[in-house]
Amino acid sequence: MSSTAIANIGELVTWADDEPVRRDAGLVIEDGRVAWVGSSRDLPASDDVVDAAGGAVIPGLVDSHTHLVFAGDRADEFVARMAGRRYTAGGIRTTVAATRAAGIDALRGLAAARMAELRAQGTTTVEIKSGYGLDVETEKQLLIVAGEITSETTFLGAHVVPDGMSADSYVELVTGDMLTACAPLATWIDVFCETGAFDVDQARTVLLAGRAAGLRPRMHANQLGPGPGVQLGCELGVAAVDHCTYLSDADVSALSDTGVVAGLLPGVEFSTRHPYPDARRLLDAGVRVAIATDCNPGTSFTSSMPFCIALAVREMGMTPIEALFAATQGGAWSLQREDVGHLRPGAKADLLILDAPSHVHLAYRPGVPLVRRVIEHPLLRSCESV
Ligand code: NIG
Ligand code: FE
């Protein structure tokens, strides 16, 4: 058994009940797990010592919503939006064409490069969706590539209806042959329940078929306007409804009553000029909130969780500590993981040493690369789900 001590931690964020944030702390890792947390002066002897030099140590960030496997970009759409054009779900088909043409080896290279970006910015657990293939072969390829990076793979065949098919026949394909081919490669099933994508009945059909095939449900909903998606998610008990930009009071109550996680994706509002979701309203109502990047070429081409934390603080009414909680423990709730998102003894020892004395600097110094060191344990391949 090998042990590593982290000494001279200026501020240690563990999310322990008694002392979630402690000063002048030390931490010991044994066999990839947090084995001890305490005051710096009581640090037990260990095989190795890493000196945090007064920097803050926080749990590795948990990005619970990405679309990392795709080809091409849509910078021209971004330029048009910044000049006043509205975002529509139809842009997804542009990326589908580029992704189908790319081939699995190119997709693998693109996804690995994006994953390196995420990692450098502190993400140690990531969820990755398919959804830019929209045919059996390409959706499978996307999940194969995603599965080489993470165990949190999501089948999102129901992203939009591809060109040349009716919605009904496409839902039949997604819940039939495509699901049969993709379910063995995925942990989760997702659907984009929104005007221009799938309506609430189609979304229900997709999620129930996925669940019957052994996948756990999660959703995209209420991104572009109010709609019935959140209520459907709460009725089915999905793990998370992501976006939650346009919510009624009944939606907020349903999320709070059911414990379904609201995944907030502020990179989307940054890049579409929609209003930001009201995190304050959700937190005050007792809703469990996660923050994620939604890294994708259409609505949020950022790989940076710290950028999303800064937006959440500046634009969504969160305090820095609430935003960090949502980007770590919130993400772990969203993915139904107990081993990540915190640094209590027993946690997977995925942690970040910051070039800053406090987690506050993640929002206070936006755009500055503050992740000095990422310590992680056989990254992202853990199958320890609850
Ligand atoms: O999460 N909302 C649906 N899917 C993506 C957008 C995808 C795209 O425009 O390419 C999202 O925002
Ligand atoms: Fe998304």
Q: Does ligand 1 have an atom closer than 6 angstroms to the CB of 192?
A: yes
Give the pLDDT confidence score for residue 229 in this predicted structure: 98
Q: What atom in ligand 1 is closest to the CA of residue 91? A: 9
Asked whether residue 46 is assigned to any structural domain, the reply reads yes
161-171 residue pLDDT tens: 999 999 999 99
**Nearest residue to 295 (alpha-carbon basis) of 127, 94, 83, 137:** 127
Closest-CA residue, ligand 1 atom 3, reads: 192
Asked whether residue 383 is assigned to any structural domain, the reply reads no
CB atoms within 10 A of CB 177: 11
Give the pLDDT confidence score for residue 213 in this predicted structure: 98
Give the pLDDT confidence score for residue 1 in this predicted structure: 76
Residue 353 belongs to a domain with what CATH number? 2.30.40.10
203-217 residue pLDDT tens: 999 999 999 999 999
Ligand closest to the CA atom of residue 95: 1
Q: Examine the domain organization and report whether 83 and 25 are in the same domain.
A: no
Residue 315 tokens read as: 């634009």
Q: Does ligand 1 have an atom closer than 6 angstroms to the CB of 216?
A: no
Question: Cα–Cα distance between 20 and 23 in angstroms, integer?
Answer: 10
Give the pLDDT confidence score for residue 378 in this predicted structure: 60
Contact between residue 323 and residue 266 where contact means Cβ atoms under 8 Å apart: no
**Nearest residue to 72 (alpha-carbon basis) of 92, 90, 89, 57:** 92
Contact between residue 98 and residue 70 where contact means Cβ atoms under 8 Å apart: yes
Could you give the number of structural domains in the chain? 2
Q: Does ligand 1 have an atom closer than 6 angstroms to the CB of 153?
A: no
Q: Examine the domain organization and report whether 129 and 95 are in the same domain.
A: yes
Ligand closest to the CA atom of residue 77: 1
Q: Does ligand 1 have an atom closer than 6 angstroms to the CB of 272?
A: no
Question: Cα–Cα distance between 338 and 209 in angstroms, integer?
Answer: 26
Q: Examine the domain organization and report whether 132 and 27 are in the same domain.
A: no
Q: Does ligand 1 have an atom closer than 6 angstroms to the CB of 129?
A: no
Q: What atom in ligand 1 is closest to the CA of residue 95? A: 10
Give the pLDDT confidence score for residue 89 in this predicted structure: 81
Give the pLDDT confidence score for residue 274 in this predicted structure: 97
Asked whether residue 199 is assigned to any structural domain, the reply reads yes
Asked whether residue 385 is assigned to any structural domain, the reply reads no
Cα of 65 to ligand 2 centre, how many Å? 6
Asked whether residue 386 is assigned to any structural domain, the reply reads no
Strands (E), 19-135: 21-30, 33-39, 48-51, 56-59, 61-63, 123-129
Q: Examine the domain organization and report whether 247 and 371 are in the same domain.
A: no
Q: 3-state class of 366 per DSSP?
A: coil
Asked whether residue 213 is assigned to any structural domain, the reply reads yes
Q: Examine the domain organization and report whether 248 and 273 are in the same domain.
A: yes
Q: pTM for this structure? A: 0.97
Cα of 177 to ligand 2 centre, how many Å? 23
Q: What atom in ligand 1 is closest to the CA of residue 300? A: 12
Place of tokens 């984009």: 192
281 burial type by CB count under 10 A (0-12 exposed, 13-18 middle, 19+ buried): middle
Contact residues for 116 (Cβ-Cβ < 8 A; gap 6+): none
Task: Render 239-301 in DSSP notation, one character per residue.
Answer: SEEEE--S--HHHHHHHHHH--EEEE-HHHHHHH-PPPP-HHHHHHTT--EEE---BBTTTB-
Residue 324 belongs to a domain with what CATH number? 3.20.20.140
Ligand closest to the CA atom of residue 195: 1
Q: What atom in ligand 1 is closest to the CA of residue 156? A: 4
Q: Examine the domain organization and report whether 40 and 135 are in the same domain.
A: no
Walk along the chain (386 residues) and give the pLDDT tens digit of each residue.
789 999 999 999 999 999 999 999 999 999 999 999 999 999 999 999 999 999 999 999 999 999 999 999 999 999 999 999 999 888 999 999 999 999 999 999 999 999 999 999 999 999 999 999 999 999 999 999 999 999 999 999 999 999 999 999 999 999 999 999 999 999 999 999 999 999 999 999 999 999 999 999 999 999 999 999 999 999 999 999 999 999 999 999 999 999 999 999 999 999 999 999 999 999 999 999 999 999 999 999 999 999 999 999 999 999 999 999 999 999 999 999 999 999 999 999 999 999 999 999 999 999 999 999 999 976 444 333 22
Q: Examine the domain organization and report whether 35 and 180 are in the same domain.
A: no
Strand partners, 63: 126
**Nearest residue to 314 (alpha-carbon basis) of 263, 269, 261:** 269
Q: Does ligand 1 have an atom closer than 6 angstroms to the CB of 91?
A: yes
Asked whether residue 267 is assigned to any structural domain, the reply reads yes
Give the mutation target among 73, 86, 220 for probing the ligand 1 site: most ligand atoms within 8 A of CB. 220
Asked whether residue 7 is assigned to any structural domain, the reply reads yes
What residues make up the domain containing 350? 3-59+342-375
Ligand closest to the CA atom of residue 99: 1
Q: Examine the domain organization and report whether 289 and 175 are in the same domain.
A: yes
Q: Examine the domain organization and report whether 35 and 90 are in the same domain.
A: no
Q: What percent of the chain has pLDDT over 70?
A: 98
**Nearest residue to 277 (alpha-carbon basis) of 242, 303, 302, 322:** 242
**Nearest residue to 27 (alpha-carbon basis) of 48, 16, 12:** 12
CB atoms within 10 A of CB 368: 12
Q: Does ligand 1 have an atom closer than 6 angstroms to the CB of 95?
A: yes
